[in-house]
A and B are shown apart, each in its own frame.
Chain A
Amino acid sequence: ETGVTQSPTHLIKTRGQQVTLRCSSQSGHNTVSWYQQALGQGPQFIFQYYREEENGRGNFPPRFSGLQFPNYSSELNVNALELDDSALYLCASSFTTSTDTQYFGPGTRLTVL
């Protein structure tokens, strides 16, 4: 167990809808990163938050946005869902942005119909 939790476990949405995924990091972890993992692929970096500010972003459109809160929780919001957004979404926390090891949550499986 990594101490990182995510909710919900599974989610089914319709194209065009909006979704919010949640992550609870380990206490003391100031950094959270979000990844998208399509079926059969490796995780792809969406963005990272450090002390409630975005601290790096991968090649994802602006309809992917995030929030990080002082209580070590965070959210990933996706607007105008597309079929290709169907994937496993993983959050990972670490002490700082320069910490090498990331601790992953179990993920949220999003299906867009």
Chain B
Amino acid sequence: SQQGEEDPQALSIQEGENATMNCSYKTSINNLQWYRQNSGRGLVHLILIRSNEREKHSGRLRVTLDTSKKSSSLLITASRAADTASYFCATDLTNTGNQFYFGTGTSLTVIP
């Protein structure tokens, strides 16, 4: 079963606009990560935020984490056509330590 749920399931925006994706999870976590997947191939790690952090930036990416609401958001600023991909959040549960649980993903389309 999936630990996380991304929202929305699909998002279509114009190049240059910002894209926001949300992730909700069910149980306590050690950290939360965001991955990108192009065309059903391998996943690429984007950014990690630990349970004691609230916000993190990496280039055009901004991630927030609200452990009280068990939710996270990924913001991609000034989107490009190359950002078109599926985005997944993954959680590392505190009681497993070594198992990563992925959400259902958000499919992002950036229109040139």
Contact = CB atoms under 8 A, between A and B. Distances in A.
B42 A42 contact: no
Contacts of A35: 102
B89 to A, nearest CB: 9
A106 B42 CA distance: 4
Contacts of B88: 42-43
B100 A45 contact: yes
A48 interface: yes
B31 interface: yes
Interface string B28-48: 000101010000111111001
Given A106-B41, A107-B41, A107-B42, A56 B98 contact: yes
Interface in A33-47: 33, 35, 37, 39, 41-45
Size category, B interface: 20 to 34
Interface in B9-56: 31, 33, 35, 40-45, 48
Interface in A16-47: 31, 33, 35, 37, 39, 41-45
A42 to B, nearest CB: 4
Contact of A55 (B40, B43, B98): B98
Contact of A56 (B40, B43, B96): B96
3 pairs of A and B residues whose beta carbons are closest in the complex = A42-B102, A104-B42, A106-B42
Given A56-B98, A101-B45, A104-B45, 16 more contacts: A2-B42, A2-B44, A33-B100, A42-B103, A43-B88, A44-B2, A45-B101, A50-B98, A56-B96, A58-B99, A98-B98, A100-B92, A101-B33, A103-B45, A104-B35, A105-B42
Interface of B: 1-2, 4, 31, 33, 35, 40-45, 48, 88, 92, 96-105
